[in-house]
Structure 1
Amino acid sequence: MTAVITGTFDPITVGHEDIINRASKLFDKVVVVVTDNTEKKNLLTDGIRFESVKAVFEDNTKVEVTRLKGLVSEFVKSIGGVIVRGVRGTIDFDYEKMLSDINRELEGVDTVLIPARKEYAFISSTFVRDLIIYGRPIDKYVPEKALKFIKNEAD
């Protein structure tokens, strides 16, 4: 079965990396979809976000990184997959449960939730963006292979 994990990855964090790697051990294939969120103003360009995620998983043959225009649930249904989401706590869980219900109603697509490891539960892209904006180090929170893309863009 194929898992589909979506995100703006602005930027990708070690928490994202961990969820995707764990999903790649549970599923035959993981498709990571770098999306746009019209409700957010991205710090990094579409190209940088896509290339940085691709670089992080270049050695994992079970992970494919792509872009998508349109509804994720339609794409997931078309490939017979499931949506996989990481959750850091109860607020994430409640939100993802609501989205899961919508995706099941619209397309009959299931969602699998993977709890974040304790050491990553406080890390979010918003947190990392704030560190970047204020010139603070991000090395502990961003995968090493993504750092060069992010640092070049932020400079």
Structure 2
Amino acid sequence: MMNAVYAGSFDCYTNGHHDIVKKAAVLFDRLYIVIAVNSEKRRRYPAELMQTAIARTLENDGLTNCTVCIHDGVVADFCIENDIGYTIRGLRNRMDYDYEENIATVNKLIAPNLETVYFRADNNGISSSLIAELSKYRKDFSGLVPPAVNELLLRCESE
């Protein structure tokens, strides 16, 4: 079986992220969407709630070969522990490529058989930072995130 992991903070999960998931889900038998928790960073949205919203998005799109997990640790170790041979990364521009190549190099040191596959998102101008900025000023971001994620963000905003 060909298994892959698509890891990120997903704080928040955007249509750009989801576009990459849809493309990767076609190529791999099992795709793990891993919410990578970094204890050094403060999340805007709870990882557990984002996990639920992403899972609902996958279900709504019939992506049955995808699983959403939360992982606190090195993603390459998650791949070793779960017999995953590929890591998926999204690229928006040349700067993303340079950054991702450094991560791929480190992953290879930890897990020599782990290959990195790059995807270009159709919605390449969307970023979690952009969503956070729009949210801060109470601007409509509903067209930039999946409906289940939009519901979560609006709920968190009102609390």
TM-score norm. by structure 1 comes to: 0.93
1:137 matched to 2:146? The reply is no
Task: Give the drift of 1:143.
Answer: 0.5
Which of 77, 86, 89 is residue 85 of structure 1 equivalent to?
89
Which residue number in structure 1 is paired with residue 31 of structure 2? 30
2:57 partner amino acid: V
Contact 1:53/1:146, CA 8 A, preserved across alignment = yes
Which residue number in structure 1 is paired with residue 121 of structure 2? 116
Task: Give the drift of 1:49.
Answer: 1.6
Unaligned 5+ segments in structure 2 are none
RMSD of the alignment, in Å? 1.3
SS of the residue 2:139 aligns to: coil
Task: Give the drift of 1:134.
Answer: 0.8
Contact 1:48/1:153, CA 8 A, preserved across alignment = no
1:12 matched to 2:13? The reply is yes
- Residues 90-122 of structure 1: CA distance to partner in whole angstroms, max 9, x if unpaired? 0110000010011001211211111122xx111
Which ranges of 4 or more aligned residues in structure 1 deviate by more than 4 Å?
A: none
SS of the residue 1:140 aligns to: helix
Task: Give the drift of 1:46.
Answer: 2.0
1:103 partner amino acid: N
- Residues 16-61 of structure 1: CA distance to partner in whole angstroms, max 9, x if unpaired? 0000010001111110011213443221112222111111112311
Which of 76, 79, 86 is residue 73 of structure 1 equivalent to?
76
Identity percentage of aligned residues: 29
Contact 1:9/1:53, CA 8 A, preserved across alignment = no
SS of the residue 1:84 aligns to: strand
Unaligned 5+ segments in structure 1 are none
Which residue number in structure 1 is paired with residue 156 of structure 2? 153
**Alpha-carbon separation, structure 2, partners of 1:52 and 1:128:** 16
Contact 1:4/1:84, CA 8 A, preserved across alignment = yes
Q: How many residues align?
A: 153
